Structure 1
Amino acid sequence: MTIVLGTPNADGMREARGVLREWQYDGAPMQLHPGDIGWNYRFGTAETAAVVRTWSRDGRLLAVGMLDSPTVLRITVAPDAFRDEDLARRLVEDLSLPERGVLPAGAVSVEAPLGLLLHDLLTEEGWGLDEPWTPLFRDLAEAVEDPGARIERMGAEQAQDFADVLRSAFNTSRPTRDYWHAMTAGPFSADARCLGACDDQGNVAAVVTVWSAGPGKPGLVEPMGVHADHRGRGYGRAITLAGAAALREMGSSSVRVCTLSSNVGGVATYRAAGFEARPEIGDRIRKA
């Protein structure tokens, strides 16, 4: 059967969310998570649908991708289709031909889970590897230790605090209070919790958003940040522990996150919160 590339409508987004939830399991490599798309809803519903791509055969979704930017695609595949040759070759075609509407000509990158036949074919086509990332995982079978800080669940009244911490943590002017409102209005928001760790004066020092994929599935941390004024005081560990505990309450079996290996402080923070670092991975890149 022919493999069909699509950009989903509202119904298609619900279907994509459903299969992404199904495809998560504890032994899976780091891969696109429904929470990744949920976090993208901070840009708006129409904007998020416009950057999602799906590949299906005979009405069944086999792969889901999301453009993090016009030149960066994050993609994952149904567990039983990791070595599907027809799918892998179609993906290479769609990634290589700008007229297909996935990636433009020139320098681009693709994040895909290890084990895909796609990697072998991209290597044959001359694609290289970008800088390394470190995946980190924590099992949630046992109770999570006390974070040692006051933790609040963040609602609409804390939307500005949420944005302020992220702006400071990532040294960017982009996050606004509208991020929180748009994200929580999106169809993936029921799977999310936003938490804040407060200092002794009640100021929000760190924030995290965590995403469930359903009971018995791994959850995701995306994003976590500590305000620059509060770094080095344990708030990163505290808010990460709080996020892990929230996911356990929501039924998640484990929690995962991936950060650039060059972000030594970030890796150390997650390890301090009980995460285990796995072997490094790298995006596939095609140079201009």
Structure 2
Amino acid sequence: MSGGYRRSDGDPAALRELAGRLWSWSSRWHPGELTWLCAEHPDARLAHWRHAGRVVAWAWARGTRLDLQLDPAHRGLLDELLAWSGAGTVRVLDAETWLVDELLARGLQRRDDGPFFVHLRRPLDDLPPATPLPAGYALRPADAAARAAVHSAAFSTTMSEAAYREVMRGPAYRAELDALIVGPDGSPAAAALAWLDGRSGVAVLEPVGVHPEHRRRGLATAAALAVLRAARELGARDARVCARGDDGYPAPRAAYEALGFRAYARNLRLVRP
């Protein structure tokens, strides 16, 4: 490969390495959440690029969609990332203005129709007090079977116990930041998982979910607050979460805003004409 760049396939650790080095509030990716997303989408195609031994870019392709991160000092690699993926749609953060400009200059066009996600943040020094759980509900230490079950039900997907065990074995996972709420009959009702980046002091919520049979009881708020408090005790100063920003599914964003989160950026969809 020209220019001293070397491409390799796979390796989520390379994604986390670059995300941690480039993290700022103008970055789309937090290193912790990449652990979760790679586990949630094991069928995605991954590649990363190194220069002088350091990760400078990665690309993550699912079908015709591309997500990426690129060190702006190596923006000349963008054409190779696009060619590798063959994707017709690229998703970026609007705060990554230089990357948006580079993609527009290559003929991609912004599309604002359809769902999109907003990024919300809040400091952790003034978290609201805990509210009592409904009668019969209780916080429990997370276990893989229960966490996989509540996630599958909450998001209408399929996550196996084995897949969640892999998440728990990951280097960024901390059991203190994994909250499980069970119902009166002991069945998994809600859960929240946070990922703490010690370098930046930012914790990201990914994911927070409630079993459909246990919704509208304040369980998502209770689970999220539990892990945010735990993250603060571990040294986190701020938190970030993503939620749908369009009107098609407004409830999660409203719940996070009620917790004091405020939107500061949104994802953009850029497509080849």
Q: 1:3–1:122: structure 2 CA closer, same or farther, 3 Å change rule?
A: farther
Does the aligned pair in 2 maintain the 1:5–1:53 contact within 8 Å? no
The code of the aligned residue for 1:136 comes to L
Distance in 1, matches of 2:165 and 2:122, equals 29
Distance in 1, matches of 2:15 and 2:82, equals 23
The code of the aligned residue for 1:23 comes to L
Distance in 2, matches of 1:192 and 1:77, equals 32
Q: Residue 53 of structure 2 is aligned with which of 45, 59, 62?
A: 59
- In structure 1, the gaps of 5 or more residues are none
The code of the aligned residue for 2:47 comes to R
Question: Which residue of structure 1 lines up, in the alignment, with residue 154 of structure 2?
Answer: 169
Question: Which residue of structure 2 lines up, in the alignment, with residue 88 of structure 1?
Answer: 75
Q: Report % sequence identity.
A: 23
Question: Which residue of structure 2 lines up, in the alignment, with residue 282 of structure 1?
Answer: 268
The code of the aligned residue for 1:154 comes to A
The answer as to 2:39 corresponding to 1:39 is no
**1:71-122 CA deviation, whole Å, 9 max, x = no partner?**
33333344xx3xx4xx22321x12432xxx3x125x3333346234221121
The answer as to 2:154 corresponding to 1:153 is no
Does the aligned pair in 2 maintain the 1:52–1:65 contact within 8 Å? yes
Question: Which residue of structure 2 lines up, in the alignment, with residue 75 of structure 1?
Answer: 68
How far off is 1:133 after superposition? 1.7
**1:110-143 CA deviation, whole Å, 9 max, x = no partner?**
3346234221121122323344321111111335
Distance in 2, matches of 1:65 and 1:113, equals 18
Question: Which residue of structure 2 lines up, in the alignment, with residue 109 of structure 1?
Answer: 90
Q: Residue 122 of structure 1 is aligned with which of 103, 113, 134?
A: 103
The answer as to 2:207 corresponding to 1:220 is no
Distance in 1, matches of 2:94 and 2:6, equals 19
- In structure 2, the gaps of 5 or more residues are none
Does the aligned pair in 2 maintain the 1:197–1:206 contact within 8 Å? yes
How far off is 1:276 after superposition? 1.3
Does the aligned pair in 1 maintain the 2:59–2:81 contact within 8 Å? no
Does the aligned pair in 2 maintain the 1:138–1:276 contact within 8 Å? yes
Does the aligned pair in 1 maintain the 2:16–2:32 contact within 8 Å? no
Length-normalised TM-score, structure 1: 0.78
**1:126-184 CA deviation, whole Å, 9 max, x = no partner?**
323344321111111335521433322303xxx22212222221122x11222211211
Q: 1:95–1:279: structure 2 CA closer, same or farther, 3 Å change rule?
A: same
Distance in 2, matches of 1:283 and 1:203, equals 39
Does the aligned pair in 1 maintain the 2:10–2:47 contact within 8 Å? no
Does the aligned pair in 1 maintain the 2:40–2:159 contact within 8 Å? no
**1:178-220 CA deviation, whole Å, 9 max, x = no partner?**
2211211233334883211234454432111111111542111
Length-normalised TM-score, structure 2: 0.82
- RMSD over aligned CA atoms reads 2.9
Distance in 2, matches of 1:125 and 1:15, equals 26
Q: 1:5–1:256: structure 2 CA closer, same or farther, 3 Å change rule?
A: farther
The code of the aligned residue for 1:153 comes to P
Distance in 2, matches of 1:3 and 1:54, equals 14
The answer as to 2:230 corresponding to 1:246 is yes
Q: 1:192–1:53: structure 2 CA closer, same or farther, 3 Å change rule?
A: farther
Does the aligned pair in 1 maintain the 2:193–2:227 contact within 8 Å? yes
Aligned residues: 263
The code of the aligned residue for 1:165 comes to V
The code of the aligned residue for 1:219 comes to A
Q: 1:129–1:259: structure 2 CA closer, same or farther, 3 Å change rule?
A: farther
